[in-house]
Structure 1
């Protein structure tokens, strides 16, 4: 009886070890390598920076006087549009600065895709937002919808404020 117990015990231990080894192997395969994460980030960045540029250019096209600017480097990759208006009211001169900026921030060791957006309408900050998701979990449509929503929100507020 003790021989039977001993063999069953050893068999159970070896099954448990094989199960643990299989689980570790499966986890390693499912985790993306650092190089793969970097490659994915670059792919998403290229796609989304084109989307950002298109959205910002369309906003600028609807409001004459905006100048477009491409952004790249340490701050990220994206686009901005801005204008600096001079207003003279009762002999008083004031400048009113407006800017819409969106960028995809550079890849970091955190392995996240980070969309940063800033909007300023006539010297007042409208929004300063960041949206980030782990590179392995990115749904590109979610980022595209955010880019469009932020651009549309900015256009709506700018249109309302520029009339007053």
Structure 2
């Protein structure tokens, strides 16, 4: 085979690879939109679960204030309370809070649940769980939400 024919074939292969790459890029962009929709669906479902669980927890411990969380950190909810403690004539403030959020959609395509629990001014737990969005199992996240709220309730009750 002479050089001219090999050169033409090399050019054809290069053009073919360029076309394949362009199609793959277009599919990725379409996939990006679908992934964003999937993330929004999971975020809505799981943030409702978080809100339900934290409302119930606040009902069992009077004094907690419930707030929904929809900001740059994610969607979810928080419960918090401030207590005034008087010991030996001295006054002290005590702060307790539980925050759980589903992180916003990001280019890494993950579904991430974050929780932070503080009881009487001490951060007692910080949890993060994530799964790749295409492999995400919302039911396992629901179970984690329940488990982490129950864990906080037990810790709060034992430290109250």
TM-score higher than 0.5: yes
Shift of 1:126: 1.2
Give the distance between the partners of 1:73 and 1:97, measured in 2 at CA: 22
Stretches of structure 2 that go unaligned for 5 or more consecutive residues are 1-19
Give the distance between the partners of 1:160 and 1:128, measured in 2 at CA: 18
Larger C-alpha radius of gyration, 1 or 2? 1
Shift of 1:88: 0.5
SS of structure 1 residue aligned to 2:84: strand
Q: TM-score under structure 2 normalisation?
A: 0.81
Match of 1:93 in 2: 91
What is the CA RMSD across the aligned residues, in angstroms?
1.6
Determine if the alignment matches structure 1 residue 36 to structure 2 residue 34. yes
Q: TM-score under structure 1 normalisation?
A: 0.79
Structure 1 stretches of 4+ with a deviation exceeding 2 A read: none
Matched pairs, number: 135
Match of 2:71 in 1: 73
Shift of 1:128: 1.0
Stretch of structure 1 that moved more, 120-129 or 147-156: 120-129
Stretches of structure 1 that go unaligned for 5 or more consecutive residues are 1-23
Match of 1:134 in 2: 132
